[in-house]
Structure formats: structure tokens, C-alpha cells
Amino acid sequence: MYEALKRRLEQKPQPIDPMRSYALALILEEKESETYLVMQKRSVYIPQPTEISFPGGAIEEGETSMQAALRESCEELLLSPEELEYLGPLDYLINSPRLLLLPHVFKYVGEGLIDRFNPQEVQRLLHLPLRWLLDQQPFYTEGISSLELPKDFPYERIPSGRDYPFHLANHPFYFYTFEGEHIWGLSSRILSHFVEILKALKETSQK
């Protein structure tokens, strides 16, 4: 048994509970010596309609998260893979025990700003100037997640019963407002992290 167990433990560890994994693309673009970050307002035909998000979607079987981010970007923004130069992966975000977001950074190598999209998935594009982002102080607040248990939950089987101190996660919320659109939620959390990286790089370059 021990030899068989050892061979099993040599496999790459996986989450015990299945996770939903999504790949996102942070696409930088340039126009007249200014650098922008493109985001999109989701169409009314897809989940989370009218929210502001990055291009992206679920990772399909057999593809890497980078490949998924590239594929989704091309589908949503009507681009060819040759128009996006891959810069590298960004830090990932685990929003809950079963949701994993894997962002990747690209550079649009076409001329000017991206000006086309699939209307079935995208309602409009936002081009956020990096200079504007670096000057922003997003509105910040926090919230604590609630725990909903079924009516027949067996409290008698756990210490303290209904008074058991369940751990509730604390969630940070960042809000940006650009051209009348509010950017919040997971997209804003990733955006704020990316901006902090850019600020740190800028400070380092100035020393």
C-alpha cells in the first residue's frame, strides 16, 4: 500500500473541491505616445450583463490559461492572435474556495486603440489611460460574506451547536468611475492590484 500511495502522492496536487477557473486578459494599447488599458462593458446577452470587465472566460479542456485569455480576447474584440503580444502572467485571484481567476497581460500591436468588438458579448469598450489610473485613489470598502445553511443542518453534531463560530471571509471592494461607468467587483480588485504594480515600477524607475 505504501508504494502505491507514494506514487499517487508524486502527482501534481490538485484542489480537493473542483474549482471554476477563468482566464482574463489585461490588454495595453498605445495612441499618440499614451498608454491605455482596455476594458469592456458586457452585453445584455451574457451573464453579469452591463458590468465592466476584462476580456476573458472559462478555460477549456486542453488549453492553458494564457491560451484561454488569448482566445477569449480574439473572440470578444475581433482580433487575430498576431495582434496581441504576450507580456506575461499577472498574480492570480482566488475569490472563494471554488473560483480561480488567472489574469494575463498583453500588448496590442495594431495601430491606435482597439475599436471593434463582438456585439453579442460586448456593449462598448473603455480605454483607461495609465496616467489617469496612476492618479486615482479608488473608493474602498469591505464586506463580510454570509453563511447560509440549510434548515436541516445538523447543529447537534458540531461543538457549540448554533453558536459555532463559523469563519466568514472578509472581502475588499474597490470602485473606479470612468466615463460614467462604475468598475467594481473582481475586475476592480485585479485592476487595483495591477495599478499598484505599475506604481511600484514607476517609483523604482525614478530612484
Condensed to tens digits (0 to 9), the pLDDT of residues 5-62 reads 999 999 988 888 888 999 999 999 999 999 999 999 999 999 899 999 999 999 999 9
Q: Where are the alpha helices (DSSP H) in the chain?
A: 2-9, 65-77, 130-135, 185-206
Q: Which residues contact 183 (CB under 8 A, 6 or more apart)?
A: 39, 52, 175, 176, 177, 191
Encode pLDDT of 95-141 as tens digits. Answer: 876 789 999 999 999 999 999 999 999 999 999 999 999 999 999 99
Encode pLDDT of 161-178 as tens digits. Answer: 999 999 888 889 999 999
Domains of the chain: 18-206 (3.90.79.10)
